[in-house]
């Protein structure tokens, strides 16, 4: 990943990809206190556009606020940096990774001289959970790892350290032959995937867990809006794993995962065991929106 051509925005300037380095005493590397985003840009008829750039940038700043990390740049500067990371690398479509981290100014939990640094990289990333799975759906497993408790780490922050839990759950699911994990909250209710929000469909109504211990996903927000615009009722509520077993359809949403159908949980096939009709409708509209084919939602696009 680090040995390639290209440019990465680091602390205000574009630097060659191979030279975008930090010291081994980088504080965030030791303790995980950092905040980041995952953003996508798509090739539209009118040029490459970043989807919901403002919302992702707002969430980055909210994450930093929760973690009490001072932000060294304004939202405008970081939005420009994200556009530049796509443009200056000549990417038509991209996954964009902004991150804010503490440097090597100090060490130890008591360090009081830390400075926040910022980077933005962008590269090409196709379907995160596999192209054919976008139609076929994925097989998932209830994780033995519990999702974060709201008072242990901060679930509203997209914080680096939170992803240890995601990686433990995902690695376990992959090693057991599944495509993704489904994490339950501390009370045993469905929370989310390792990097996706969760939805099920039952009798024509869409259900999704509330945000107590799940990230406030921007794709989730998009799905809620699109479903409402399509006249499909959506309810946020606590969901048990056995409600998923007997659901008609289920899917994950996320910037990387986009809208990925789920065909099986814990070896119980969901509905017809393939992408369901409501999932298909939402997935298709989602792609129309991000590729700029749906006039009504053009405000969500920022051309680079
Ligand atoms: N939950 C977690 C834990 C995630 O990492 C992500 C990906 N950012 C999501 C949900 C989906 O969020 P979004 O739609 O904003 O990408």
Tens-digit pLDDT profile for residues 238-247: 999 999 999 9
Regarding the beta carbon of 258 and ligand 1, being less than 6 Å apart is answered no
Q: Which residues contact 251 (CB under 8 A, 6 or more apart)?
A: 137, 198, 199, 259, 260, 261, 262, 279, 282, 283
Q: What's the half-sphere exposure (Cβ side, CA atoms, 13 Å) at 167?
A: 5
Regarding the beta carbon of 196 and ligand 1, being less than 6 Å apart is answered yes
Regarding the beta carbon of 254 and ligand 1, being less than 6 Å apart is answered yes
Give pLDDT tens digits for 163-210. Answer: 999 999 999 999 999 999 999 999 999 999 999 999 999 999 999 999
Q: Which residues are catalytic?
A: 158
pLDDT for position 190: 98
Per-residue pLDDT averaged across 144-165, rounded? 97
Pocket test for ligand 1, best of 197, 251, 256 (most atoms within 8 A of CB): 197
- ipTM surpassing 0.95: yes
Between the alpha carbon of residue 251 and those of residues 128, 265, 273, the distances in Å are: 14, 11, 12
Name the residue with tokens 């060490």: 107
Domains parsed from the chain with CATH numbers: 7-123 (3.30.470.10), 133-290 (3.20.10.10)
Give 5 Cα–ligand 1 centroid separation in angstroms: 28
How far is 193 from 209, CA to CA, in rounded Å? Answer: 11
How far is 249 from 263, CA to CA, in rounded Å? Answer: 8
């Amino acid at each position: 990943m680090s040995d390639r051509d290209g440019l990465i925005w680091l602390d205000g300037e574009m630097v060659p990809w191979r030279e975008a380095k930090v010291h081994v005493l980088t504080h965030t590397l030791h303790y995980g206190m950092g905040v980041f985003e995952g953003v996508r840009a798509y090739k539209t008829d009118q040029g490459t556009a970043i989807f919901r750039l403002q919302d992702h940038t707002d969430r980055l700043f909210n994450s930093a606020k929760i973690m009490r990390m001072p932000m060294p740049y304004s939202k405008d500067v970081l939005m420009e940096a994200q556009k530049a990371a796509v443009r200056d690398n000549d990417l038509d479509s991209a996954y964009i990774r902004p991150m804010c981290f503490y440097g090597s100014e100090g060490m130890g939990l008591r360090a009081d001289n830390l400075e926040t640094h910022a980077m933005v990289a962008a590269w090409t990333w196709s379907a995160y959970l596999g192209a054919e799975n976008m139609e076929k759906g994925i097989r998932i497993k209830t994780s033995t790892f519990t999702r974060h408790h709201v008072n242990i780490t901060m679930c509203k922050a997209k914080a680096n350290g939170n992803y240890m839990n995601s990686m433990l759950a995902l690695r376990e699911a992959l090693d057991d032959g599944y495509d993704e994990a489904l994490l339950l909250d501390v009370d045993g209710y469905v929370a989310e995937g390792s990097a996706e929000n969760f939805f099920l469909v039952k009798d024509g109504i869409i259900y999704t867990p509330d945000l107590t211990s799940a990230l406030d996903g921007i794709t989730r927000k998009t799905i809620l809006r699109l479903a409402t615009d399509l006249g499909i009722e959506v309810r946020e509520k606590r969901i048990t794993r056995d409600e998923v077993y007997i659901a008609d359809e289920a899917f994950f949403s996320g910037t990387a995962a986009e809208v990925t159908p789920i065909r099986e949980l814990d070896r119980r096939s969901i509905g017809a065991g393939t992408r369901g009709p409501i999932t298909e409708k939402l997935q298709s509209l989602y792609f129309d929106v991000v590729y700029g084919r749906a006039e009504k939602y053009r405000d969500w696009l920022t051309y680079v």
